[in-house]
């Protein structure tokens, strides 16, 4: 499944029009003056980039000393790309065992939907996929996953509601090994990052997986809601402390929200975006490509 820039552009359509239209007005041929700096600042703030990251980006832009629309465009593009870093490859998995991916995040960000989309994606690549319903807390979470498992056509391991999530993960990994599964996707209950006990529970899931199969989970993906504001930074910080996510997924990016907070998270915590969710369909998940992302934002 190739990255489709047209689709991403379509998703970001509304964002793009507002963005560059205003930069044009703001960045006059003479270069970056106080007024155009303020206009740029408002654009970045409105995209949820946050005050501190916006200041840093604009400071760098000022140093670039660009004059004229094209030069400013390129300088800003470079500056944003520099923050985002290069796209990362998926880690290699030693053969003979399932790749284990753990999905974490706060409530309502779209974890379960993202999991279904990842399942569809790996299945389309010809892999044998299994889901584990380790969200044993939210009412009907396992049922929701069951609907998706049927729709996508993959196996699901679940237990009764209220069961120990770490035990579900353990069982799922054992059964994934026994059945020769290539990718095991583990759903977890949404939790606010400030709830210490729930974060401990996540750590336990991580520990138990590692015990069952050293080296797993291979990936821990933190799902962020594209409409979340500055709090996403705090979420990323605390999830990082607890379970060391290997990457981010921005869900719901096809709204009007621009998820600029990702820039601040990349800058402060070094976490890369791995995927972006662009729609409600099961095929609407793209591998994150920083250049396409920035170009779609600035074109």
Partner 1 sequence: MFEDLGEKLNRSFKGLLGRGKLSEKNIESGLREIRRSLLEADVHYKVAKDFIQVVKERSVGQEVLGNLRPGQQVVRIVHEELVRLMGSAFTDISRSRSAPTVILLVGLQGSGKTTFAAKLARRFQKSGQQPLLVAGDTARPAAVEQLKILGSEIDVRVFEKGSGADPVEVAAEGVREARRLNFPVVIVDSRGRLHVDGELMEELRKTRDAIAPQETLLVVDGMSGQDAARVARSFADDLGIDGVVLTKLDGDARGGAALSVRAVSGKPIKFVSVGEKVDQLEPFHPDRMASRILGMGDVLTLAEKAQEVFDRKQTEKMERKIREASFTLEDFRDQLRQVKKLGSLDDLAQMIPGMGRVKGLEAEEGRLTAIEAMINSMTPEERRIPRIIDGSRRKRISRGSGTQVKDVNRLLKEFEQVQKLMKTMRKRGPFRMPMSLG
User: Which residues in 273-292 contact partner 1 (CB under 8 A)?
Assistant: 279-280
Find the binding residues for partner 1 in span 39-58 (CB under 8 A): 42, 45-48, 50-51
Cβ distance to partner 1 smaller for residue 68 or 281: 281
Out of 255, 269, 291, 298, name the contact with partner 1 by CB under 8 A: 255
38 DSSP 8-state letter: H
Query: Which has the closest alpha carbon to 283: 92, 37, 11?
Result: 11
Using the rule CB under 8 A, which residue among 74, 144, 159, 175 binds partner 1?
A: 144
Contacts of 241 (CB under 8 A, 6+ apart): none
The angle subtended at Cα 291 by Cα 286 and Cα 296, nearest 5°, is 75
Number of residues that bind partner 1 (CB under 8 A): 46
Interface with partner 1, residue 252, by CB under 8 A: yes
Given a contact cutoff of 8 angstroms between Cβ atoms, the answer to whether 272 and 247 are in contact is yes
CA 49, CA 44: separation in Å to the nearest integer? 6
Other CB atoms within a 10 A radius of the CB of residue 203 amount to 14
Map the footprint of partner 1 across residues 177-236, applying CB under 8 A: 192-197, 200, 225, 227-232, 234
Region near partner 1 per CB under 8 A, out of 104-112, 125-133, 205-213, 266-274:
104-112
Residue closest to 274 by CA, chosen among 47, 33, 84, 92: 84
Residues in contact with partner 1 by CB under 8 A are 42, 45-48, 50-51, 106-110, 137-141, 143-144, 146-148, 192-197, 200, 225, 227-232, 234, 252, 254-258, 261, 279-280
């Amino acid at each position: 499944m190739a990255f489709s820039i047209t689709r991403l552009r379509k998703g970001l359509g509304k964002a793009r029009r507002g963005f560059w239209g205003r930069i044009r007005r703001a960045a006059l041929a003479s270069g970056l003056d106080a007024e155009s700096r303020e206009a740029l600042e408002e654009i970045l703030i409105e995209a949820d980039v946050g005050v501190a990251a916006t200041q840093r980006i604009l400071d760098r832009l000022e140093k670039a000393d660009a004059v004229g629309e094209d030069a400013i465009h390129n300088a800003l593009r470079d500056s944003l790309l520099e923050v985002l870093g290069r796209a990362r490859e998926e880690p290699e998995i030693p053969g003979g065992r399932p790749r284990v991916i753990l999905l974490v995040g706060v409530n309502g960000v779209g974890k379960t939907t993202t999991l279904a989309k990842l399942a569809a994606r790996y299945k389309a690549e010809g892999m044998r996929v299994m889901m584990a319903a380790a969200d044993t807390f939210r009412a009907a979470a396992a049922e929701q996953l069951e609907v998706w498992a049927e729709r996508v056509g993959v196996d699901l391991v679940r237990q009764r509601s209220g069961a120990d999530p770490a035990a579900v993960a353990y069982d799922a990994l054992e059964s994934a090994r026994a059945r020769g599964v290539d990718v095991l996707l583990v759903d977890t209950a949404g939790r606010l990052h400030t709830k210490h006990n729930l974060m401990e529970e996540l750590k336990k899931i991580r520990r138990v997986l590692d015990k069952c199969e050293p080296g797993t989970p291979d990936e821990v993906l933190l799902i962020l809601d594209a409409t979340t504001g500055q709090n996403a930074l705090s979420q990323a910080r605390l999830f990082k402390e607890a379970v060391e996510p290997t990457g981010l997924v921005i869900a719901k990016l096809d709204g009007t929200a621009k998820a600029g907070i990702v820039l601040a998270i990349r800058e402060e915590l070094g976490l890369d975006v791995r995927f972006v969710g662009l729609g409600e369909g099961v095929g609407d998940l793209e591998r994150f490509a920083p250049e396409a992302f920035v170009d779609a934002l600035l074109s």
